[in-house]
Homo-oligomer: A and B are copies of this chain.
Amino acid sequence: MTSRYKSYVAIEDLESHIGETVTLNGWVYDKTEKGKLIFIKLRDGSGTVQCVLFKPNVSEEIAAAAGSLSQESSVSITGTVRSEQRSPTGVELDVTDVRVWQVSKDYPITPKEHGVEFLMEHRHLWLRSARQHAIMRVRSAVVKAIRDFFDGNGFRLMDSPIFTPNACEGTSTLFETEYFDLGKAYLTQSGQLYAEASAMALGKVYTFGPTFRAEKSKTRRHLTEFWMVEPEMAYFDLNDDMDLAEDLVEYIVQYVLKTCQRELATLGRDISKLEAVRRPFYRMSYTEAVEWLNKNEIKLNRKQADGSEIQIDFPWGEDFGAPQEEAIMQQFDKPCIIHRYPTEVKAFYMKRDPENVKTVLAMDMLAPEGAGEIIGGSQREDDHDQLLERILHENLPQEAFQWYLDLRKFGSVPHSGFGLGVERTVKWITGAEHIREVIPFPRMIYRIVP
């Protein structure tokens, strides 16, 4: 029993149907008439193809139907697939029949320039534009690459919960909701703590879901709702963690290069920059990075008590901001991992470096071309008493972390993990200007519609 839907031919598969008569189902991207010819650029979501209607070949009704088509009209077009080397898709369709589903009137997004606010208001339609369409297909490929990588390397998906009972790191950047008679629940900012419990049960796991931050940031890198994949591995130390992170990012970029050639071309992406993303990446310790900044006289602006600003050498112990990260990455054509950050600027669950207790076994991966941090990770503190000390030192509620401390009581093992931000990765790979373009329906401090 073959389903009717299986007989549908997608534009992206047309090259394997040369010489055949097929029916395509899609929307009009563009239409021009020239004497007895009507050229219809048809998109169906999988690709775009030029359909050529020669009026003497069809009835008057069909020619009239084709002539009525406007931008974004929905239409099924039947015709013969012909090889055409001048076409970007390698084929064209010689039209024999046209079935109009709806003639679209006054489609709001025309080929002229539109303001960002207007486009965001019309995000449900903007997604049909060639550039947005290409970004979405790359996004889909990035997620598939991530999952294939982990599924193919012995990892199991373990979904961390979205509702969390505790405001682990303060409530200021958390979204909260009433939860029946149990008080407030908070939307997760990271599935890591749960992933650690899962790793003790399943060895190598990843959690992959939306995460939430109620940050009042209006930068081009911030969303309130974004997707993050977080692998967590029992018996992995920091070096294993960094190796895995490099393997993952190399795999993602090479997968996109292999499967999204048309999309990258549509986006005008410089392919050579992506082709360079091959292991090994660069690595330096935080301390080396600070030395490099100061050797190269990349100063830090510091406000004085009187409000004036002075420029100072970058002080060891301070966290890097975008200016430092960008300066460091200027010299690199592929990602760089910075590791072993000062304890004070990193989270309580990171393991102290046994060789320098002022630092923790943390690592961040920065992407080139100004893309910034795409990965943050660490080896986790596996010693019960050390972890408890850090929890108390940061005035966190011990009771709420009892289950997390349990993991250090019952068969504690060295373990590590990291989080990779999907949107930041897609932004980097596609070269998109703003993070709002790399998720279907972006949520930002000032936007929640459509």
Contact = CB atoms under 8 A, between A and B. Distances in A.
A421 interface: no
A257 interface: no
Contact of A160 (B156, B235, B413, B441): B441
Interface string A138-169: 01100110010001001011111111110000
A316 interface: no
Interface stretch (A58-66, A125-133, A296-304, A336-344): A125-133
A224 B26 CA distance: 38
A244 B6 CA distance: 9
A264 to B, nearest CB: 16
Nearest to A27: B411
Interface in A86-130: 101-102, 104-105, 107-108, 122, 124-125, 127-128
Interface stretch (A33-41, A197-205, A320-328, A365-373): A197-205
A185 interface: yes
B73 A411 contact: yes
- Specify which of A10, A176, A210 lies most central, judged by the most chain B CB atoms within 10 Å of its CB: A210
Contact of A124 (B147, B224, B407): B407
The binding surface of chain A is classed by DSSP as: mixed
A403 B161 contact: no
A282 to B, nearest CB: 14
Contacts of A235: 8, 25, 76
A448 interface: yes
A329 interface: no
Contact of A159 (B46, B102, B412, B440): B440
Interface of A: 1, 3-6, 8, 10, 12, 25-28, 44-46, 72-74, 76, 101-102, 104-105, 107-108, 122, 124-125, 127-128, 132-133, 136-137, 139-140, 143-144, 147, 151, 154, 156-165, 175-182, 185, 187, 194, 197-205, 209-210, 212, 214, 216, 224-225, 227, 233-236, 239-240, 243-244, 247, 279-280, 403-404, 406-407, 409-414, 439-441, 443, 445-446, 448-450
7 contacts: A124-B194, A124-B404, A125-B406, A140-B157, A143-B157, A159-B440, A198-B440
